[in-house]
Structures are given as structure tokens and as C-alpha cells.
A and B are shown apart, each in its own frame.
Chain A
Amino acid sequence: MFGRSHAPAALVAPASLYVAAAFLLPVAILIAGTILPGGKLSAAGYVRFFADPLSLEVVWRTVRIGIVVTIVCIVLGYAMALAIVDAGTKARGQLIGLTILPLMISPVARTYAWVVILGRVGLFNNLIVGLGLTQQPFRLLFSEGAVYVGLVQLFLPIMVLPLVSALENLPADVVAAARTLGADWFTVFRRLLLPLTREGLVIGGTLVFNGAVTAYVTPAVLGGTRNLSLATLLYQQVAVTDDLLAAGVVATILIAMSVTASVLLRRVSTSRDRALTRAR
């Protein structure tokens, strides 16, 4: 009944055409513009970018931020997901709701909260000075560390949700069976849980890495102008110099980073677990 028909083409056409025309086309022109300045094929824009030591610093910082935030989110996220799944079916729904909640709140508000907490006269410093742990308050804001904290808070829920989903889909008695057969918790984790939740890890990891690398608000507010990431560098270049070629180069590198990460991370998830998770 839903076999061959011209209907599907007509139904997906508007959305597909829209994405192609309103989104892909302008972005493609922007990318093309970086190798065709003034209509002639040239890598001058990229040469200029990579020759500038500040640019390289920004690229490495962005990659570093992506990797650190992703790893921290994986570790914390896995712990949270295990705890949520362990909590029993009734509490699970509420806990998932509680996890989704921060995602809905404006990133500007979320980042501003960290300004209040990490500032020199903010909550954290007042606490540790008040408790006598240290004489002088710490400089926490306008640092790469502050960016890590802000981004982890932003993306942790995104890591937790696919993991919970993956853990929930495990056949119910698998863990119990393994324990009965004598496996300790570490072995259970390494040989059983990790491989079976690989796809969830990949989905979450990709979303978190992409998000961390392309984030704007958090590095802008918590990192300051001395800790530029590719996104804040892009904004600065467009807003201050109106150099479309330079901005296009930064934008292209940003896109390349996201795409590479997505492709690489997808390779990690193999077809083996797809067969297993499908057997629900």
C-alpha cells in the first residue's frame, strides 16, 4: 500500500528544497568564496589564516575545548545515566525531566549565572574565603577553565539522554547473568555495558563535541577576549573588520571541524551493536 508512489517525493520536496536554498546555498557560497576571492582560484585566505600565530592558537584552543568537554561529559554523563537507570522506572521519568530542564533555559541566563558564581566577589570565592580555605579570592572568570565549566553544564544533559536510552534498551537480565557467572563490576562495565552502549556514546559524544566547538555565548562571556575560540574569533572578525574572506575562512574551518568529528565518531559505532540493540 505504501509502496511505489510519487507522493513521497512531493512530501519531502518542500522541506528539502527549503534547506537546500535557504541554508545550504548561502553557506556553500560562503565556503566557495574562500577559495575564489575576486573570482580567481586562490588559497591566499587560508595561507593568511594559518600563517598568523594567533589563529593557530585559536584553532588548538577550540579543539582542546571540544575534547576536554566531551571527555568530562562522557565520564559524568555515564555516571548519571547509570544512576538514573538504576533508580527504578517511576523515578526515571522524573529524573529525565529534570535533566531536560536546563536544556530549555536560555544559554545567556545559564552563562550569566556562572558570571555571578565565579566572579571575584561571586559565590564560589565568597564561600572559600568565608570558610577560611584561602586568603585571597581566585581569578576564575575570563579563563579557559571557566569556559570548560560553563560548557559542561550546558552539554551534560545532551550526553545523558542518549546514554539513558541505550542503557534502557539492554536486555534486562544481561547484567545479572554476567554477575552470576562471576564477573566483577569493572568487567561488566568494560566487556558488557561499554560495547552495548557504544551507539549512545557516539550520538551523545558527537552532539557534545559539535556543540562545544561551535558554542558562542559561553566562550564569549566566560572566556573573554584573551581566550578566543573559533566562534568568538569569527564574530570578532565579522563585527570589527568586515573582512568577508577572513571570516569565511574561519567559518569553513569551523564547519570542517564539525563534519570531521561527526564522520570519525560515526566510524566508531559499528554495525555489530546495531543488530544487538534492534533485538528489543
Chain B
Amino acid sequence: MFIRTLAIAACIVATIAAAASAEDATVVLSSYGIAQPQYGKDLYSPFEAQCGCKVVVDTGNSAARLAKLEAYKDNPDTDVAALSDASAAQAAKEGLIEPIDVGALSNFPKLYQIAQDPVGGHFAVGYTFYATSIVYRTDKMPPVTSWQVLWSPTLNKRIALPDITTTQGVPVAYMANLTFNGTMPDMKVGIAKVTALKDSAVTYYPSSAVATQLFQQDEIWAAPVGRFDWPNLKKLDVPLAWSMPQEGQSGGMNVLVLVKGAKHKALAMKLIDAWLSTEVQTALASDLVDSPANSEVKLAPAAAEILVYGPEAVKSLHLVPPDVVLANRAAWVADWNAGMAH
């Protein structure tokens, strides 16, 4: 009994020691959970082979990971994070991230202009854009031409919407605001309209992947999602289409940031550079994971049609600037909570 206890204790210590020693050649990334296998193939594995290090990934939605950065502010356990531009702006304001030395990034000049300094102060670099629009079941309804379809009684209890705190939350509220002639930056009309659907929506999804699942399980027939989810949605065995409503599409940009006090800063910078490289961006785009922010990426027409490709496509989106989000987020969340109560 005693010997056995000792043996087990020794195993535990060895495991912890092994984990600790692996830390030296490690870079810790906080990223979205979606498409991790493809990221493994297109980014992590090639990078690990090149640097002889290990990439450890922590996943979750943007808001949750931002909260984690806040919690670990004084002792960060993360080096690099992929966040929405709005979350990055907030992280910069709270002093959680440090400016990136863009001169040290060999692939920086290849980025589209708007991706080079999306939140100011070089706190972030954009790595992908996406559009946000409504995905719907073609066999259950006529083609969707307007955002108003979400409020149609025929879709009662057949839709899902993003929670205001998620990356898609603001773009969707923004489009609701636009559709029903609300004003900015208060966005009160938009938020009121979205929360008015609380009994009609099956759920307010915490991440786009949940929306995918709801489509698959036939729980919903329509939902606004980000374009990065479209490749997964196409694979489902229910007939879906991406709509182009008359009011337009919203969307966003996802960015990479450097955590302040990161323990593996050099490796972190290398990872960012690799992520922005033409090879990686092309691979991710060809696998239909992310639209490229690297202007030198050339895509086959099939991929180009699915992704948001090229500066013109980006310009056509109704994007909410990160600084507007930053200034008004608290008020929006308060209005949202008030609207959600019965």
C-alpha cells in the first residue's frame, strides 16, 4: 500500500515536471475553437516543424477568452491571441496587450491596408475578414431578400440569434438597427428588435458552431452567422443558402494580438508572422477556413466565391468600427439585458 502510494506520487511529480519542461519550447495561443483540425494542418504543424517548438492552443469564443486575459493579467499564461477587432480594442484599452513591432514581421507589408493597423497603435494585425448574413433552409422558405425575414411569424421558434456579447452579436444588432431605421451609436432600435425575438428564437447561440449544430438537428431554419461558418454549413445534409439581403451584409475582422508580459514573446512574433504568410493564408483559404488578409494570396474561383475575397468585397460590408464598439458596449449590454427580461 505504501509503496504503491509512493509510486503514484512519483508518477504525478514526473508528469508535472514533464509539463513544466515542455514550457521552454512552447508558444501558447488563445484562439477560436472552430476549424482547429485545419489550423493544425495548415499552420501549427508546419510552424512546429520549422521552429522545433510546440503550439499549445486554448479555445473558446472571443468574449470568454478576453475575460481570461483579464483574469490572468498579472501572470499571463498566454502569448498570442486571435480576437475580434472589438475585443482587441478593449484589450488594448485595458492594458492587456502590447504593441506589435510590425517592422519585425516580414509579411506585414503584404497585408491589405485596412488589416495593417485595425485598432490603432499597432496593437493588432488583421488576419482575416468575414461577412455576416442570414443562412436559411431553401426547402422551407423562398429566397431571403431582407433582414426583416427574421421577424416573420412563419419563422417563429425556427431561428437562432447571436448573444450580444459574442463576435456576431454586434454586427447582427447593427443590421437590425439599419433595417428598422435606428440611430447610431445608441443602436437602441436594433437591440430592442433583436431582444424582441427572445420567445421566437430557439436560443441565443454563444458561438457560430452551435448555430451549425442547430441547423443540422433541424432545430432552426434560419440564423445570421459569420461567413467562416459557411464551409461547415455547406457540408450538412440539409439544403442551405447564403442570403444577400437588400440592406446589405455586416461582418468583421479578426486580429492577432501580443499579450503583455508574454513568456514566449520571440516565438509569438514568429507565429504571427507565419500566420500572415502567403503560404499559410493560401492554405487556410483553400481549405475554406478563413478569408485572406494577405493581398498576395491567389485563390481558385471555387474558393474565391465562398470566401470574402479582395478589398472591394470588404468595402461592401457594413462594419462597425472597433472604437465605436468600445465606447458603447456597456450601454448596449445593459439595453440587451433589459430587453431579455420578461
Do A and B come into direct contact in the complex, CB within 8 Å?
yes
Chain A interface residues toward B at CB < 8 A: 52-54, 57, 119-122, 137, 139, 141-142, 224-226, 238-242
Interchain Cβ contacts under 8 Å between A and B, 30 examples: A52-B341, A53-B338, A53-B342, A54-B338, A54-B340, A54-B341, A57-B341, A119-B217, A121-B218, A139-B219, A141-B219, A142-B202, A142-B219, A224-B203, A224-B204, A225-B163, A225-B203, A225-B205, A226-B201, A226-B204, A238-B67, A239-B60, A239-B64, A239-B67, A240-B63, A240-B165, A241-B67, A241-B165, A242-B67, A242-B71
The answer to whether residues A52 and B337 also contact, given A142-B202, A224-B203, A225-B205 and a CB cut-off of 8 A, is yes
| Docked pose: A142 CA to B198 CA in angstroms | 12
Q: B residues within 8 A CB of A142?
A: 202-203, 219
| Docked pose: A139 CA to B157 CA in angstroms | 8
The answer to whether residues A240 and B198 also contact, given A52-B341, A54-B337 and a CB cut-off of 8 A, is no
Asked if B24 CB lies within 8 Å of chain A CBs, one says: no
| Docked pose: A137 CA to B67 CA in angstroms | 39
| Docked pose: A226 CA to B157 CA in angstroms | 12
| Docked pose: A127 CA to B198 CA in angstroms | 29
Q: A residues within 8 A CB of B60?
A: 239
Q: B residues within 8 A CB of A122?
A: 217
| Docked pose: A238 CA to B205 CA in angstroms | 17
| Docked pose: A224 CA to B71 CA in angstroms | 25
Asked if B226 CB lies within 8 Å of chain A CBs, one says: no
Which residues in chain B, 327-342, are within 8 Å of chain A measured between CB atoms? 337-338, 340-342
Asked if B224 CB lies within 8 Å of chain A CBs, one says: no
What's the least CB distance linking A49 to chain B, in Å?
A: 12
Map CB proximity to A onto B153-178 as digits: 1 under 8 Å, 0 otherwise. Answer: 00001000001010000000000000
Nearest neighbor of A115 in chain B, beta-carbon distance? B217
Asked if B70 CB lies within 8 Å of chain A CBs, one says: yes
| Docked pose: A238 CA to B64 CA in angstroms | 8
Asked if B190 CB lies within 8 Å of chain A CBs, one says: no
Q: A residues within 8 A CB of B341?
A: 52-54, 57
Contact present for B67 and A240 (CB under 8 Å): yes
Q: A residues within 8 A CB of B219?
A: 119-120, 139, 141-142
Chain B interface residues toward A at CB < 8 A: 60, 63-64, 67, 70-71, 157, 163, 165, 198, 201-206, 217-219, 337-338, 340-342
Q: B residues within 8 A CB of A137?
A: 218
Beyond A142-B202, A226-B203, 7 additional pairs, beta carbon < 8 A: A54-B340, A119-B219, A120-B219, A137-B218, A225-B203, A238-B67, A239-B67
Contact present for A242 and B70 (CB under 8 Å): yes
Q: A residues within 8 A CB of B63?
A: 239-240
Contacting A224 at CB < 8 Å: which of B70, B202, B217, B340?
Answer: B202
Q: A residues within 8 A CB of B217?
A: 119-122
| Docked pose: A241 CA to B341 CA in angstroms | 19
| Docked pose: A57 CA to B337 CA in angstroms | 12
Q: B residues within 8 A CB of A53?
A: 338, 341-342
Q: Is the interface of A mostly helix, strand, loop or mixed?
A: loop
Nearest neighbor of B238 in chain A, beta-carbon distance? A121
**Which one of B63, B70, B219 has the highest number of Cβ atoms from chain A below 10 Å of its Cβ?**
B219
Q: B residues within 8 A CB of A225?
A: 163, 203-206
| Docked pose: A119 CA to B219 CA in angstroms | 8
What's the least CB distance linking A128 to chain B, in Å?
A: 15
| Docked pose: A141 CA to B216 CA in angstroms | 14
**Which one of A53, A119, A142, A240 has the highest number of Cβ atoms from chain B below 10 Å of its Cβ?**
A240
Contact present for A120 and B206 (CB under 8 Å): no
**Which one of A52, A120, A239 has the highest number of Cβ atoms from chain B below 10 Å of its Cβ?**
A239
Q: A residues within 8 A CB of B203?
A: 142, 224-226
Nearest neighbor of A242 in chain B, beta-carbon distance? B67
| Docked pose: A225 CA to B195 CA in angstroms | 13
| Docked pose: A120 CA to B221 CA in angstroms | 12
| Docked pose: A137 CA to B205 CA in angstroms | 22
| Docked pose: A239 CA to B67 CA in angstroms | 6
What's the least CB distance linking B206 to chain A, in Å?
A: 7
What's the least CB distance linking A111 to chain B, in Å?
A: 15
The answer to whether residues A240 and B201 also contact, given A120-B218, A225-B163 and a CB cut-off of 8 A, is no
| Docked pose: A132 CA to B201 CA in angstroms | 27
Q: A residues within 8 A CB of B340?
A: 54
What's the least CB distance linking A239 to chain B, in Å?
A: 4
What's the least CB distance linking B340 to chain A, in Å?
A: 6
| Docked pose: A238 CA to B202 CA in angstroms | 24
What's the least CB distance linking A52 to chain B, in Å?
A: 6
| Docked pose: A241 CA to B63 CA in angstroms | 8
Contacting A57 at CB < 8 Å: which of B67, B157, B165, B342?
Answer: B342
What's the least CB distance linking B297 to chain A, in Å?
A: 34
Contact present for A226 and B198 (CB under 8 Å): yes
| Docked pose: A141 CA to B219 CA in angstroms | 9
Nearest neighbor of A139 in chain B, beta-carbon distance? B157
Q: A residues within 8 A CB of B338?
A: 53-54
What's the least CB distance linking A195 to chain B, in Å?
A: 42
Q: A residues within 8 A CB of B218?
A: 119-121, 137
Nearest neighbor of B166 in chain A, beta-carbon distance? A240
What's the least CB distance linking A39 to chain B, in Å?
A: 19
What's the least CB distance linking B164 to chain A, in Å?
A: 10
Q: B residues within 8 A CB of A239?
A: 60, 63-64, 67
